[in-house]
Amino acid sequence: METLDQINALLNQPNTFQRNLEQLILLSQKFVSLYDGSASSGDVSLSDELRPLLAAMSDPSATISAEMELTLSTILKILLRKSSNRLALGKTGMTSILRSLNRILSERNVKASAELCNAVLNTCYDAVNVQYLIELDGVSLLMKLLNSRDTELITSALGALQGLCYEPRGRQSVRQDIKVKCYDLHTNYRLAINIKFSSHFHFVGYSEDSIVFIKRKRECTSTGGGSYS
């Protein structure tokens, strides 16, 4: 894709977020406007070059504005709708995604963090990426995000966890810690209600004891007012 090639060319340049910021913003916004509404980007049979984007986003020394981080995260999410891109990631690519998420979280960029969780969700359509996430401790990182006070970030993290749970290995990994995190989230019942907690966690239906636990916590929190939709 011509627009992505232009973005990559700029990302490969040194100090690009200082020297080429205006061009990067324009090209990135153009890419999002072209492809965000579609199921995939470009020729679905060919993988795109993701390395410049992943390298730039995961670079701990990079100085990237919050707006630019959000746009780049959206581009990655769009690109990972394509199966050929997901399968081309490999463990190195998944490592870069998790490093990017850790870096952006450290900068408290909640919107970009939520968008990166959506990108992680897209990777989970392929079993091999679920295995990489488990090996790289990505499950624990996603579970930690449930402690956030931001509804959008929690919802996106839950979506990624739900995607993981469609694979037996991912489901098993999430189960190891899910009871503790369910409790953490339910201690703030109003937030849990707002994000429709129960519907996002319907995947725990694969575990009977988890269902009992969730129901018990719903009974405890519903006495404080409000109702689940």
* Averaged pLDDT for residues 176-190: 50
Task: Give yes or no for residue 158 having a pLDDT over 50.
Answer: yes
What letters, b where the CB count within 10 A reaches 16 and e where it falls short, cover 1-31?
bebbebbbebbeeeebbeebeeebeebbeeb
Residue 84 · residue 127 · CB < 8 Å: no
* Averaged pLDDT for residues 66-77: 95
Domain membership of residue 141 (yes or no) is: yes
Give the pLDDT band (50/70/90) at residue 45. Answer: low
Domain membership of residue 216 (yes or no) is: no
Q: Which residue has the higher pLDDT, 95 or 207?
A: 95
Task: Give yes or no for residue 188 having a pLDDT over 70.
Answer: no
Domain membership of residue 194 (yes or no) is: no
Residue 17 · residue 62 · CB < 8 Å: yes
Residue 44 · residue 88 · CB < 8 Å: no
Q: What percent of the chain has pLDDT over 70?
A: 73
How far is Cα 205 from Cα 212, in angstroms, rounded to an integer?
10
Can you list the alpha helix ranges (DSSP code H) found in the chain?
2-11, 16-19, 21-35, 51-58, 66-79, 83-106, 110-123, 127-135, 138-144, 151-165, 168-186, 189-194, 197-200, 208-222
Check residue 114 and give left, alpha or beta (phi > 0: left; psi -120 to 50: alpha). Answer: alpha
| Domains: count for the chain | 1
pTM: 0.79
Task: Give yes or no for residue 99 having a pLDDT over 60.
Answer: yes
How far is Cα 29 from Cα 211, in angstroms, rounded to an integer?
43
For 33, the token pair is 């406007």
Q: Which residue has the higher pLDDT, 47 or 215?
A: 47
What pLDDT, on the 0 to 100 scale, is given for residue 74? Answer: 96
Query: Residue 67 belongs to what domain range?
Result: 2-174
CATH number at residue 42: 1.25.10
Q: What percent of the chain has pLDDT over 90?
A: 53
* Averaged pLDDT for residues 128-137: 95
Domain membership of residue 190 (yes or no) is: no
Domain membership of residue 227 (yes or no) is: no
Domain membership of residue 157 (yes or no) is: yes
Chain-wide mean pLDDT for the chain?
Answer: 80
Domain membership of residue 61 (yes or no) is: yes
Give the pLDDT band (50/70/90) at residue 117. Answer: very high
User: Quick count: other Cβ atoms within 10 Å of Cβ 53?
Assistant: 22
Domain membership of residue 205 (yes or no) is: no
